[in-house]
Amino acid sequence: MLARDLITDSISPLNTSDSGALTLGMMDEYRVSHLPIVNNKDFLGLISDTDIFALNAFDDPIGNHMLTLKGAYVKESQPIYEVIQTFANMKLTVMPVLDEKDQYLGVITLATLVHHLAKITSIDTQGGIIVLEINDKDYSLSQICQIVESNDATVLSSYITSFPDSTKLEVTLKINRLDIGPILQTFDRYGFNVVSSYSNNDAYSETLQERFDSLMNYLNI
């Protein structure tokens, strides 16, 4: 999934002639702290509510404001994982997307990003969750998938958590089966350390879904 696939049409860009007061009103309406400034298709930059409050001249056009955010955009061909990284590094609430000629295409919101991330990680798909602890030099996704598939199951998604000053990795797997007992036994037989496991029959899975639904409601999807 690429940045161009995540663009939302629910947020309009600003013009340099728009006032700071109007901009703050739009931010409040969209529930964001940043908005792009565009001249036709030319992307001029991203303004934050902090920029507006710092100038303390709410009736002035935003073209008078100094923009503190540099390089706050992604290109349309960047994958979703790079979009997530840029969001996190720059602490943004919207992400402008430019084409290969640096023309403005639209923005990605946090809400849209979380929605698509939930899809690619299969959060809303029934199945079990298995968390393995593995030495980084022993990690092999192909071997892990082979063990899961030998039990007539499939890995729907996986992600790795690493820890500072440690050679251990935590590998979290989403499996397309509710009954993960045989899979756990196979992992044990092959010497894998299963840190934890959950199925959709567990209260944990219900809580996970409830928290995800609450997040979606908060982000106003």
Q: In CATH, what number is assigned to the domain containing residue 38?
A: 3.10.580.10
Shared domain for 137 and 198, answered yes or no, is yes
For the stretch 124-144, pLDDT in tens is 677 899 999 999 999 999 999
Percent of the chain with pLDDT over 90: 61
Shared domain for 128 and 89, answered yes or no, is no
CATH of the domain at 133: 3.30.70.260
Shared domain for 131 and 71, answered yes or no, is no
Shared domain for 114 and 126, answered yes or no, is no
The answer to the question of residue 106 being in a domain is yes
Shared domain for 164 and 99, answered yes or no, is no
Lowest mean pLDDT among 67-71, 75-79, 197-201: 197-201
Identify the pLDDT of residue 221.
42
Shared domain for 38 and 75, answered yes or no, is yes
User: What range does the domain containing 83 cover?
Assistant: 3-118
Shared domain for 92 and 51, answered yes or no, is yes
Shared domain for 103 and 141, answered yes or no, is no
Q: Is the pLDDT of residue 208 over 80?
A: no
The answer to the question of residue 82 being in a domain is yes
Shared domain for 109 and 10, answered yes or no, is yes
Q: Is the pLDDT of residue 17 over 90?
A: yes
CA gap 36, 17 in Å, rounded = 13
The average confidence (pLDDT) of the chain is 87
In a 13 Å sphere around the CA of 111, the CA atoms on its Cβ side amount to: 15
Shared domain for 70 and 171, answered yes or no, is no
Identify the pLDDT of residue 211.
55
Average pLDDT for 88-102? 93
Q: Is the pLDDT of residue 9 over 90?
A: no
Identify the pLDDT of residue 212.
53
The answer to the question of residue 172 being in a domain is yes
Q: Band the pLDDT of 114: cuts 50, 70, 90.
A: confident
Average pLDDT for 66-78? 89
Overall number of domains in the chain: 2
Identify the pLDDT of residue 78.
94
Highest mean pLDDT among 20-24, 65-69, 174-178, 212-216: 20-24
- Which of 83, 118, 153 is a domain's end point? 118
The answer to the question of residue 221 being in a domain is no
Q: Is the pLDDT of residue 43 over 90?
A: yes
Shared domain for 110 and 143, answered yes or no, is no
